[in-house]
Amino acid sequence: MATLVQAVRLALHYGETYLGVTDIFGEDVGPPLGGVFTATQGLKTAWNTPLDERGILGMAMGIAYAGGRPVCEIQFCDYAFNTIDLMKIAGNQRWASGGNYEMPIVLMTPSGSGIRGSLYHSHSFESWASRLAGWKIVMPSNALDAYGLMLSAIADPNPVMVLLPKALLRVRGEQKIPGEPEDEEELKRMIDAPVGDRTGWQPRWPPVQEYFVPLGKAALVRTGHHATVVSYGRTLPLCVKAADELRDSDGLEFDVIDLRSIFPYDWHAISQSIMKTGRILIVNEDTEVTNFGEHLLRRVIDHHYYDLLVRPRVLLGQHIPGIGLNQEYEKNSVPQLPSIREAMKALATEEA
């Protein structure tokens, strides 16, 4: 099976071949490197830019104004903070001009912790991004969703930010991307650039097919009647693992919802699950003050206060200036499997 980052590469190949993508660009995005995580190796429209994040986003906006379809990359979301005002402008162009101009850009950027990235390769971005009205924000937790969400991001005529969980980029999917070869070694030989001299290397693209994951559509990845867990990105597979463990050890069964789209989010899926379980935990690793999960919690309280059996809760990253390199810092800063399992068990077993 393809890794998440291979899935992104296949989606971009599909995008530039069939969906009209004209430019894929960013720092180290073009040859020879093809992206610091290899997301853009071998793509025919990929090119390198100056190390200028504001320039990258400005270039994307300009290309879109002139009729192109750009996909730009900020190498790590940790370096996107100096582009926030341009993100605001990209999000407001259509609204501000009364529909005169559209802004069909895709910005992809790795987000979150889990690669021992210290202060500036461990940031999360979805809570910041969720405040950018006019954008759509997605965050896949597996390879197939990364493929399908990237295709939707490209095809949607609005600005779409694709947050890629850093920790999961090299994780293989459990489901095949349509058109992907059976043998993952064969896929690697076909589309991964060789280490060392890459002069003359060309990818052999498998005949990948159209596969859209709609924006605003969550996935129910485990079902259970005891409680609901909502997550996305790096913490989603941890929630799934915790759910499986608690099912085996304690007989507790959870609805685990992979939100996939941060905005628009699938309120219907959350709401429906709460009506079933009356218990909800929201898990993500962004810092806890003014966290996107708090917004979901507010919706839960507004709409389901009288449907809840126990207090709704969140498990989020600590409100600290950064994530330290020593792993004692990291594992105590953001949710990990033990803390997630503990929170889920407490949620499911609290007396109503």
Partner 1 sequence: MPRELTQTEGNGLALAADIVSGEYSLPAERCLEIFRLMVRARTMEERMIKMSKSGEGYFWIGGPGEEAFNVPLGLQVKKGRGPDYDFLHLHYRNSGTLIAMGMPVLDGIRQMAMTWTDPHSRGRNFVGHYSVPEWNVLPVCSVIGVNWVKAPGTAHVQKRHGGDGITIVVGGDAGTAEGDFNSCMVWSTRPGHELPVLMIVMNNGYGISTPAYTQHSELHIIDRGKPFGIPGEVVDGNDPIASWHAIDRAMRYVRSERRPYMIEALVSRLYGHSSSSGAMRVRDERDCLAEFEHKLIEAGVLDEEAAARIHKAAQDECEKALEQALKEPKPTAADVRRFTYASSDYDVVYPDDYTGLPNGD
The contact set with partner 1 (CB under 8 A) reads 22-23, 49-50, 52, 54-55, 57-68, 70, 85-86, 89, 93-102, 104, 133-134, 136, 152, 155-158, 212, 214-217, 261, 264-268, 271, 299, 303
Burial of residue 232 (number of CB atoms within 10 Å: 0-12, 13-18, 19+):
buried
Q: In terms of CB distance, is 259 or 343 closer to partner 1?
A: 259
Query: In terms of Cα–Cα distance, which of 171, 151, 165, 180 is closest to 286?
Result: 165
Q: How far is the CB of 61 from partner 1 (least distance, A)?
A: 5
Q: In terms of CB distance, is 136 or 345 closer to partner 1?
A: 136
Question: What is the C-alpha separation between 41 and 195, in angstroms, rounded?
Answer: 12
Q: How far is the CB of 94 from partner 1 (least distance, A)?
A: 5
Q: How far is the CB of 106 from partner 1 (least distance, A)?
A: 12
Burial of residue 319 (number of CB atoms within 10 Å: 0-12, 13-18, 19+):
exposed
Q: In terms of CB distance, is 153 or 344 closer to partner 1?
A: 153
Beta-strand pair 261-263/136-138: antiparallel
3-state DSSP assignment of residue 253: coil
Catalytic residue among 16, 27, 73, 121: 121
Q: How far is the CB of 56 from partner 1 (least distance, A)?
A: 9
Sheet with 106-111: list strands edge to edge. Answer: 46-48, 23-26, 70-73, 106-111, 160-165, 136-138, 261-263
Q: In terms of CB distance, is 113 or 158 closer to partner 1?
A: 158
Q: In terms of CB distance, is 100 or 199 closer to partner 1?
A: 100
Q: How far is the CB of 277 from partner 1 (least distance, A)?
A: 19
Catalytic residue among 16, 53, 73, 126: 53
DSSP tag of 150: H
CA 247 to chain centroid: 27
Active site residue 121: yes
Cβ neighbours for 232, distance < 8 A, ≥ 6 positions apart:
126, 139, 141, 258, 259, 260, 262, 284
Active site residue 53: yes
Q: How far is the CB of 92 from partner 1 (least distance, A)?
A: 9
Q: In terms of CB distance, is 96 or 289 closer to partner 1?
A: 96
Burial 62-86 (b: 16+ CB within 10 A, else e): ebbeeebbbbbbbbbbbbbeebeeb
Cβ neighbours for 308, distance < 8 A, ≥ 6 positions apart:
274, 278, 279, 280, 300
Q: In terms of CB distance, is 188 or 268 closer to partner 1?
A: 268
Q: How far is the CB of 179 from partner 1 (least distance, A)?
A: 19
Question: What is the C-alpha separation between 331 and 254, in angstroms, rounded?
Answer: 24
Question: What is the C-alpha separation between 79 and 107, in angstroms, rounded?
Answer: 13
Looking at the annotation, which residues are catalytic?
53, 121
